[in-house]
Amino acid sequence: MSDFETSRRGVLGGAALGLAATAAPGAAAAQAGGDSAPSLRDPRSAYTSTPFPEQRQPWPALASKMTPRPDHGETSYCGSGKLTGRKALLTGGDSGIGRAAAIAFAREGADVAINYYPSEEPDAREVADLIRQAGRKAVLLPADIRTQKACEEVVRKTIAQLGGLDLLVNNAAYQQSKADIMEISDEQFVRTYETNVYHVFRFSKAAIPSMPPGSVIINTISQNSYDPGEDLIDYASTKAAIQNLTRGMAKQLAKKGIRVNAVSPGPIWTPLQVAGGQLPDKMHEFGQDTSLGRAGQPAELASLYVALASGEATFSTGTAVGAHGGKGFP
């Protein structure tokens, strides 16, 4: 079987999983409400399609200072007990996609630890408050995860404070957009790999010995894994590496009863974009070329992480689920 066919089958399985997760509440409502009209939301207008204003923040940037503020599902995500009793660790959990997943995990019944860069403390405290409001335990673990020691320490503290670990989301990323390869310094290239790829390997390796059968690892990749943006060649290559790690780890860890999957976002409105992720004077173009005519919001990915983490998805491993507005892979 070719790599394309293998990926295609995995993606279709993942897509069906996401559809099942989103369809279940509607099906239950239909049974309870008889012939009541379904609740439909036009994806073209679900969130703003207005071009984002030009803005910059020093890396790593804060979601609380973005205009407009991203939607992480703070007021919209409703849980249904899919992750009751689970113990989760998310890197990059203070903002963006990691924040949306952390909120969803807590509202689905999981205790949640989040790692983040120390200067992102204000955003992280907001997430902790939301986790606690959901009645779950929140653990804040600030650290620069570019070293093996830092990665291992975060995992150790998570296990100690949550009393175990069965759900790991490797999501943290560094992204700087450059129009020419000659503008990419060796320091930037190394930092991008240390943050994006090394931490996936190191966090996973540190966590696996404590993860019981039924545990799940979810890695955040990107549509750039398949179709690299010309101004993101270092970042895109790291996401391709993580995609490959996901598939290889899934094959190996199946023997331990641990599933490994990935979520592949397209253009999503997160602090990465205002901290150097977009070329100067190009912010207004961000997400405008998708089939839906807009960028995505972190909240739109939360249910995908929940679906892959859930015990209902026991046959899904080594797959990637896309959320890219219709223009991208998988």
Catalytic center residues: 235
- Is residue 254 within 8 A of residue 233, CB to CB? The reply is no
SS3 content of the chain, % helix, strand, coil (to 5): 50, 10, 40
Give the strand order in the sheet containing 87-91.
138-142, 111-116, 87-91, 167-170, 216-220, 259-265, 320-323
Q: Regarding beta strands 87-91 and 111-116, do their DSSP bridges make them parallel or antiparallel, or are they unpaired?
A: parallel
Residue type at position 46: A
In this structure, what DSSP letter does residue 259 have?
Answer: E
The partner residues of 219 in beta bridges, in order of sequence, read 170, 262
CB atoms within 10 A of CB 281: 8
